[in-house]
Amino acid sequence: MSIRCKDLMELPSLQKLKLVAGRDGLDRVVRWVHVADVPQVTDWVQGGELLFITGIGIKKGTGTLLELIDSVQKKKLSGLVINVGPYIQEIPEEAIKLADSSGFPVFSLPWEVKLVEVTADICRTIILKQMEEKSLWDLVENILFGPMENQEIIIDRAAYYGYDLTNPHQVAIVDVDDFASYLKEAGIRDEKRVLEIKMLFHQIIQEVLGRHKCKALSVLHSDSVIIILPTKGNEERLNKMLTEDIKESMSSKIPGMSVSIGLGNSSLWLKDLKESLIQAEQALAVAKMFKGRNQTLYYKEIGYYKLLFKMGHRTDLEEFFLETLGDLLTHDKNHGGELLSTLNMYLEENGNLARTIERLYVHRNTLKYRLEKIENLTGRSLGNAQDRLNLQMGLAVGRFLNMWTK
């Protein structure tokens, strides 16, 4: 929803704006505008501004202009607009090369265009977009978190912004995998930079939605983006394609970042989307617990974990885990053993010794010894279907409660 550099040329007052360099940076968000004619402009900007210069304060030659471009792109301004006229008659080739190399957008604007009208138009558009974003966030918050107003009123409010909520929808949550670790590995500590990453994260999702011609409400919520996806007709299948595109786009545009996605059930009624949100959260939790990073999981695919979420009483689940596998947990802790992980792998391979040996990289006799130890400590037989089911449920509950990890 934010105004980006590539959106500028669509404004009526900027029809004569021409991009001359830095095409790779056209997705930069324009937070405000700043007009200056002094080389020391970095003392007066915060980052994210679109800078306009007439060249009055730029000395003859290209040196000062190159220094200006270098300093403002380091300050993380969104772009530079050069008013081409009596002071800067043309943009030097060296400046174009510098801007291209750093992906910093540089535009030219004819001298006769009045800057006061242009900057006022951009600022007005930014404010309107911010108001629209706030209104849409309030709308989503009302649907998913607040008391449900009259459904018809909400549908009308959404329609005003071009969103059709009269068809079935489902909630999807796109969540950064271990965001804290990503920030640490990327060396990002500044809160402003963290916010920029989150906004870029949301922007990439909006671009994917646009690419799939999917008109869907989306809002940034903590380290996640919540999307209310339409599921009319075969769109639920298309939504799976869309989520895969989101994951691929995220990893390619933000190196080192991966995301996982949970999707709730579809519903025609807006009041049921609160439940779809809870389902998406649970699907996401299961995906992260049991499948790892870069995953997509539907609520309808989480199987018996639905029952674990519905039980709610952690003490009851802990009691079941400890009764079933507590002795294995104690043994592993006291002896540095791997009985729990061995049991888990053996059951995942449906009792196939050869495949379990291959995954564990152990001798056949070592695996047999461990399996006998498991049977002795648990008092259950791995050859008995009912016992295997109880052991498998115990492992699932333990992972669910984070009482053991693979």
Residue 149's H or E segment, with its range, is none
Q: For residue 261, what are the β-bridge partners?
A: 174, 296
Q: How would DSSP label each residue in 276-327?
A: HHHHHHHHHHHIIIII-SS-EEEGGGSTTHHHHHHH--HHHHHHHHHHHHHH
* CATH topology (fold) of 5-122: 3.40.1390
Tokens of 364: 């056949």
Tokens of 167: 């068809």
Each residue of 210-258: pLDDT tens digit? 888 889 999 999 889 999 999 876 556 667 789 899 999 999 989 999 9
* CATH topology (fold) of 148-301: Alpha-Beta Plaits (3.30.70)
Of all residues in the chain, what percent are helix, strand and coil, respectively (each to 5)?
55, 15, 30
Q: Does residue 220 sit in helix, strand or coil?
A: strand
Tokens of 67: 């220094």
pTM, two decimal places: 0.75
* Closest CA relative to residue 286, chosen from 258, 268, 267, 262: 262
* CATH topology (fold) of 309-400: Arc Repressor Mutant, subunit A (1.10.10)
| Biggest CA-to-CA distance, the chain | 91
- The pLDDT value recorded for residue 406 is 66
- The pLDDT value recorded for residue 277 is 96
Tokens of 334: 């006291």
5-12: long-range contacts, CB 8 A cutoff, minimum separation 24: 5/30, 5/50, 5/78, 5/79, 5/105, 8/50, 8/107, 8/122, 11/121, 11/122, 11/125, 12/121
- Lookup result for tokens 């043309």: 90
* Closest CA relative to residue 389, chosen from 346, 339, 347: 347
Ramachandran bin of 58, using left for φ above 0, alpha for ψ from -120 to 50, beta for the remaining angles: beta
Tens-digit pLDDT profile for the chain (406 aa)? 578 898 888 888 888 999 999 998 888 888 889 888 766 777 787 888 899 988 877 755 567 788 888 888 888 889 999 988 888 888 889 999 999 998 999 999 999 988 888 999 999 999 998 888 889 888 998 899 888 767 888 999 999 989 999 989 999 999 999 999 999 998 888 887 888 889 889 989 998 998 888 899 999 998 899 999 998 765 566 677 898 999 999 999 899 999 999 999 999 889 999 999 999 999 999 998 877 889 999 999 988 888 888 876 778 888 888 999 999 999 999 988 899 999 999 999 999 999 999 999 989 999 999 999 999 999 999 999 888 988 988 898 888 888 777 6
Each residue of 143-190: pLDDT tens digit? 998 887 678 889 999 999 899 999 899 999 999 999 999 999 988 888
The full set of domain ranges for the chain reads: 5-122, 148-301, 309-400
Contact (CB, 8 A) for 231 and 239: yes
Count of beta carbons in the 10 Å neighbourhood of residue 369: 12
